[in-house]
Structure 1
Amino acid sequence: MARAATTSDVFNAIAEPQRREILALLREGERSVTEVAQELGMTQPGASKHLRVLREVGLVRDRRAGKQRLYGLHADGLRPVHEWTGGFEQFWNESFDRLDAYVQDLKQTGRAE
């Protein structure tokens, strides 16, 4: 089965580690492509390519500020990821509850002996 185009799906877009780094950087505020490239140690064309992909899937917005374009996080685009991962929250909560009960049992058994 062919893989979906990177620009058609949020999950494919964030599968690239450098794109996740860009999103984390943009949590701190808007940046120009030059700032993104410098702060993350990548080339400007590479940063531009990643920003374009993130913009096309709705994770990044851009605006003109004089002669430069500033990129900012558009976190609403992460909603599908949040909803999908949220489905695992109950699983993890139940797993930690079982682990906690096991640890408490070990403590009680250790005191009883």
Structure 2
Amino acid sequence: MDEPQEHQEPHFANYRESWEADKLIDKGLIHPTVSKVYTLENTGQAALDVHHNLHQGKVGVLCLAPEEGLGVRDEDKRAKHIDKINRFRGIWRLSKKFTHRARARPLEVVPGPHVAG
């Protein structure tokens, strides 16, 4: 009989791994992709959408900014990779709880500016 496996906590990047990932992002070799950005007032909906795994890329919440893109420090670098950053913008998938229905309705996604914050 096999030995019971010890429970392991999910792995999160340590400082060095985070630093290396940041370098890859800075070089444009990997791109954090954005599905949708919510206003602070819609944080609950953002959390619900993430809970139901309806997003494809990152989900953002504007906390101190009235609009997207205000934290961009290098406009040229951002412009070079904006299509890859917004690759999943407006693309949503149905959660498992909706897939068993014969007529699942797609979520309404309000198009916004194609600039991630």
Q: Which TM-score band applies after superposition, normalised by the shorter structure?
A: under 0.3
* Greater share of helix: 1
User: Higher relative contact order by CA 8 Å / sep ≥ 6: 1 or 2?
Assistant: 2
Larger radius of gyration: 1
TM-score scaled to structure 2, two decimals?
A: 0.24
